[in-house]
Amino acid sequence: MATGVGVERAKGVGRSTGAKVRKPLYTPEQRARRNATKWTLVQGILAPIQFLVFAVSLVLVLRFLATGEGVHAAHVSIIVKTILLFTIMVTGSIWEKVVFDVWLFAEPFFWEDVFSFLVIFFHCWYLYGLFTHMDDRFLMYVTLAAYVAYVINATQWILKLRAARLLEAEEQAKAAAATPV
C-alpha cells in the first residue's frame, strides 16, 4: 500500500530538478517601499557605525582582560555600542513596519530578528551587571558573549541582504533578456 509520499514521488512531485528556486525577500511593492523610505538610509548609516564601535570596543575589552588596564574605556565603549544597538533596533523596527507592515519578525527577517533579541539580552545583562556593581571581569565576559552573538547576527543580515541583491540582479538580467530590442 502506497503512502501519500510514495504516491507523490511516483508521480514525480517533490523531485529535485537541480534548479534551486529562491523566494525573493521583497515583493515589488515592498521593494518600492524599501527604496523610498528614509529608514533604509538610516539603517545603512547606523550599521557600519555600530560595527566600527564594536571593533574598537572589542579591542578595549580584550585589552582589559589581558592586562587589567583600561576598564573605564572598555565600559564607555560597551555603553556606546549598546546605545547604538538599541537605536538600530528601534529604527529597524520602524523600517520593518514601513516595508513589511509589521513592527518586527517580518517573515523574510524572522530569524535575524530573533537573534537580534539574543544580542539585546546580553547587552541588557551587561547593563544590569554594571548598575548592580558586578565584577568587571565577569561583565567583560558577558560582553564577549554579546559580541559573539552580534557577529553572528551581523553575518545573518549581511548574507540575507547579499542574497537579496543577487536575486534582484538576476531578476533584472532576466527582464532585460526578455525585452525585445
User: Could you list the residue range(s) of the whole structural domain that residue 122 is in?
Assistant: 29-169
Question: Does 20 reside within a domain?
Answer: no
Question: Does 21 reside within a domain?
Answer: no
Question: Does 174 reside within a domain?
Answer: no
pLDDT at 1: 42
Question: Does 15 reside within a domain?
Answer: no
What tens-digit pLDDT sequence spans the chain (181 residues)?
A: 444 444 443 444 444 555 566 677 888 899 899 999 999 999 999 999 999 999 999 999 999 999 999 999 999 999 999 999 999 999 999 999 999 999 999 998 898 899 999 999 999 999 999 999 999 999 999 999 999 999 999 999 899 888 878 887 887 788 788 777 6
pLDDT at 18: 55
The whole-angstrom separation of Cα 98 and Cα 37 is: 7
Question: Does 51 reside within a domain?
Answer: yes
pLDDT at 24: 77
SS3 of residue 48 by DSSP: helix
Question: Does 107 reside within a domain?
Answer: yes
Question: Does 73 reside within a domain?
Answer: yes
Cell numbers describing residue 153? 547576527
Question: Does 178 reside within a domain?
Answer: no
Q: CA of 117: how far to CAs of 30, 97, 114, 124, 170, in Å?
A: 24, 17, 5, 10, 32
pLDDT at 48: 95
pLDDT at 14: 47
Q: Are 76 and 107 in contact (CB under 8 A)?
A: no
CB burial readout 17-46, b (16+ within 10 A) else e: eeeeeeeebbeeebbebbeebebeebbeeb
User: Structurally, how many domains does the chain consist of?
Assistant: 1
Q: How many CB atoms are closer than 10 A to CB 99?
A: 25
